[in-house]
Amino acid sequence: MQKRPIQSIAEKNRIIGNIVDAIVSREHFLMIGHRNPDDDCIASMVAFSLILEKFDKDARIFLKGPVHEHFQYLLNICKYNSIRIENSLNHGAKLIDTIVVCDTPKPSMVEKDEGLEKLLKDKDVLVVEFDHHMGADSTYIGHEGYRLVTEASSAAELIGHLAFKLNRRSDLLSQYQIGDLFSRNVVLAILTGIIGDSKMGQLLKSSREKRYYQIFSGIFNNLLARETTKDTNFSNMRELFSELLRLSKKEETCYNYFLERKKLSSSIGWVVLKESDMQHLFNTCDGETIVSVARAIADTLAEESGKISLVVYYDNPSESDLIQFRMRRAQDFKTYDLRNILDLFDIEDGGGHEGAIGFRLKKERLADLDTFIEKLLAGVEQAIR
């Protein structure tokens, strides 16, 4: 079927509702795009992956070949936010239950390999689609009811629209403990696609496209200004890429700081950053970077240990008196539900799903953090045996 604009607000909301349900109910997502991906293609894949990561989903991006050096900054953000870049799907694609196609006009333009071909033919794999290419020889790729395909400045704009709808779901944000869906990296990725694909709005034709471009670019520019320490009003892509580079370097520094302090046992990989350790991070990184990197480290150590990871760090004392705990289960270790740990240690302020949990304890409750960590590690070791 040739692609056509969505005909009504009700239809668009129904499709968005279906995609939101998929985000909640499914676990392993693969983002794909077209050959020789441009600004919007990569930015929309990264933006949606970052949103999925906030919902504790396994998010991967398929990029078969090398990409322009400008986009490496976006890929660096993926590295420090638990988002894998897959160069081949010929092995290890069995976990994928959802494919998300971004900014791709028709099936023949999809960047594929043999593994992806098999996934696209698998009836159990849901295919979601975000695209703004209409008419001509465009053809739907996603499954009916999951195609957010309509007129827009970019695929990134459509993901931005979905994100606004998601941000109104206070029930889901509470369930997944998402304080702010529009974090700096999410906004930065969406803005990259919006202003990059349209060349700062110069390539837009219809009054509708121009009006929505002005609305969305203005909103996301203001959101980004709120999330950064400097006044932000990007006038060209060079400034945007410079900001991406600056932020990816900060995340790399934070990532290495965590990783240098890792420890491994036979079943658990863990990092504990005490108040003295955190002081350095508070001086060099913002809160979002620390949270994102802690999640990435939890994923890294889970796979390295083969079973379970534990990451512990203190919140900035100027903002809270909490100690944060994050645990993740390795992909191939499915015999233990991590939510049992919350019951085992009588923890009320926490949650998650069977493969990943997070919880918080007040500093005043832990007179001796080392002793608690020892009991926690011993309890986890015994439980998984």
The domains spanning 9-243 and 261-384 adopt the same CATH topology: no
Structural domain boundaries of the chain?
9-243, 261-384
Q: Which CATH architecture has domain 9-243?
A: Alpha-Beta Complex (3.90)
Return d(Cα 180, Cα 303) in angstroms, integer.
28
User: Which parts of 123-182 are beta strand (E)?
Assistant: 126-131, 147-149
Residue 168 DSSP SS3: coil
List the Cα angle 107/41/134 in 5-degree steps.
Answer: 55
Question: Which residue's entry shows tokens 């398929």?
Answer: 62
Q: What are the residues facing 269 on neighbouring strands?
A: 264, 309
Can you give the pLDDT at residue 238? 60
Write down the pTM of the prediction. Answer: 0.72
Distances (CA, A) of 89 to 94, 195, 202, 251, 299: 9, 31, 37, 28, 20
What is the fold of 261-384? Diaminopimelate Epimerase; Chain A, domain 1 (3.10.310)
pLDDT by residue for the chain (385 residues), tens only, comes to 789 999 999 999 999 999 999 999 999 999 999 988 888 899 999 999 999 999 989 899 999 877 766 677 788 888 888 898 988 887 656 789 999 999 999 999 998 888 899 999 999 999 999 999 887 788 999 999 999 999 888 899 899 999 999 999 999 998 888 888 888 788 888 888 877 765 555 656 667 667 766 776 677 667 666 655 554 555 555 666 566 566 667 778 898 999 999 999 889 999 999 988 999 889 888 787 888 788 889 988 998 999 999 999 999 988 888 999 999 998 788 889 998 998 888 888 887 778 888 898 988 888 789 999 999 999 999 988 8
